[in-house]
Chain A
Amino acid sequence: MSLPRLLKEAAENLFKKPATLPFPKEDIPPAPGYRGLHRVDASKCISCGLCAIDCPTKAIEMRVYSEYGNKRYPVVHYYRCVFCYQCVISCPKKAYVITETRPPPIGDKERLIGEPIFKKEEK
């Protein structure tokens, strides 16, 4: 009968460490390959706009940057993004830079945007 065996396992678990991960106290990184915050590399972008057309939640806005030659570059609004990465795949020049950073909890949603990378030191 397996009933006593379950009791034995339950009694042993009383003296072991709990199985819950102590997440905010210790920083536990996600598995490699996690889909985190992403931005575009402006030196490779050709302003075609395909990433904005394919986004299912309309989270990418093509904004005109007058100080960099009056061209349009994509800006990602993270509070509308679902991190499906369709923009990364639709881009014909593979211009998106991907990271494994989790989106932080933040009160003012308008501040959470991802601007294109213009200078080389930021990469």
Chain B
Amino acid sequence: MSQVRTVEIPIGPQHPALHEPLQLKLKVDGEVVVDVFLVPGFNHRGVEWLAERRSFIHCLYMCSRVCGICNTIHGTTYALAVEDLAKIEVPPRAKWLRVLVNELERIHSHMIILAIIAELIGFDTLFMLLMRDRERVMYLKELVTGNRVLADYIAIGGVKRDINQEKADIIKKHLNYIEERMKYYKKVFAEDPIVRRRLVDVGKIPYSRAIDLCLVGPTARGSGISCDIRKLDPYDAYDEVPFNEIVYKECDSWARVMVRVDETLESINMVRYVLDHLPSGPIGPKVIPRRFPAGEGIGRSEAPRGELLYHIIHDGKGMNPYRLKIRTPSFTNIHNGIKILVGQHIADVPAIFGSYDPCISCSERVTVVDVKTERTYTMRLKDLSKMKR
């Protein structure tokens, strides 16, 4: 029996290579990773337990704060699940406005993960240029919803505020500048020789292995699986707004990065189409619903990181939901995706991990860990909004 002596390297909860609080223990033999072991649980907040003790309207605001970067899509999916449970109709203008805000969020979320991948492979100039151009998207979000990051824009049965023609013109002017810059960045990612040396043929995931590991989102679309929920199971106004689904077949980190670059360009065209063809009418329900019947509701949508699923079960008694189950895309992508790290070199580990788009806030939210959370729960609700970048 051969004796392989391995060295264990902890990439701990605070580390400059990872932007997220989790612990990876790698066993290496020379430069090659032999085994990997994940210790999660550093960021638990108890969202599913707390949801059974708050009313339906309070849960809407709590579920928006599960993740800071994708807060609009969490609110939209919760509203879709509750509307499925109680059979509430959403007016057409509200559906198109939801598409507008979700696509603006997709643009700024993809820009930040491209900037982080550029920083992890050592290209700091590109990181700074992408973050400077991303500030314009935050200004547009402040125009439409009232705040740069946490847009409390969705209500059960519609949206909360409207836009006028003046704001639509300002949005189009800024989008022209952003589109020109994104085309330039696409050339950098596709043709720059140093970026290609670090990303091509690194972290290959073939098609059948990606289905076996149940991966979702751009991580799976870089391997050839076409699993965009906006085409598979359309919600809101996505069956009326034309767009292409982006799928690459190369299965490596470069393909996963190019999927995100192309999706940003598609989202810019979708926002322009929405602003030109908005229908008129009311934007929300006349009466805010407070009591809900017994039954089940499912809400599915396409977050910037993959498929997001909310499953709500109610027994008809009381003002709080009986059970709320949230399955976020980062939960699957991270906990299953690290099995790909076996057989790679240590220096490739940050680049592969960054190409999965980790969002640890999304992936751990199940129950109360310590006694202090129970006592100061109102402070936690405000602290959650400050926890993400």
Contacts and interface: CB of A to CB of B under 8 A. Distances in A.
A57 B288 contact: no
Contacts of B194: 3
Contact of B155 (A2, A6, A19, A89): A89
A2 B123 CA distance: 14
Interface size class of A (residues with CB under 8 A): 20 to 34
A56 B61 contact: yes
Nearest to A84: B152
Contacts of A34: 142, 146-147
- Main secondary structure, interface of A, reads loop
B381 A57 contact: yes
Interface size class of B (residues with CB under 8 A): 20 to 34
Contacts of A56: 54, 57-58, 61-62, 381
Interface stretch (B184-192, B216-224, B266-274, B342-350): B184-192
A105 to B, nearest CB: 15
Contact of A2 (B129, B150, B167, B188): B188
B168 interface: no
A10 B152 CA distance: 38
B369 to A, nearest CB: 21
Interface in A1-42: 1-3, 6, 9-10, 19, 30-35
A54 B146 CA distance: 20
A31 B139 contact: yes
Given A33-B146, A57-B378, A1 B57 contact: no
A86 interface: yes
Interface string A38-77: 0000000000000000101110000000000000000000
Given A3-B192, A35-B146, A84-B152, A10 B125 contact: yes
Contact of B160 (A1, A30, A85): A85
Contacts of B332: none
Contacts of B161: 33
Contacts of B126: 6
Contacts of B139: 31
B173 interface: no
Contacts of A9: 129
A97 interface: no
Contacts, number: 68
A86 B146 CA distance: 13
Contacts of A1: 191-193
B143 A31 contact: yes
B43 interface: no
A31 B61 CA distance: 23
A89 B288 CA distance: 9
A21 B147 CA distance: 17
Contacts of B209: none
A1 B146 CA distance: 42
Nearest to B150: A82
Contact of B57 (A2, A32, A86): A86
A2 B187 contact: yes
A57 B57 CA distance: 12
B385 interface: yes
Given A19-B132, A30-B142, A85-B160, A90 B378 contact: no
Nearest to A36: B146
Interface string B123-167: 001100100100100010011111100101001000011000001
Given A31-B139, A85-B152, A89-B160, A2 B191 contact: yes
A95 B135 CA distance: 35
Contact of A3 (B145, B193, B382): B193
Contacts of A80: 378, 382
The 9 closest A-B pairs by CB, nearest first: A35-B146, A56-B61, A84-B152, A31-B142, A56-B58, A31-B143, A19-B132, A2-B187, A10-B125
Given A6-B192, A57-B378, 16 more contacts: A1-B192, A1-B193, A3-B194, A9-B129, A19-B132, A31-B142, A32-B143, A33-B161, A34-B146, A35-B147, A58-B378, A82-B382, A82-B385, A86-B57, A89-B155, A89-B160
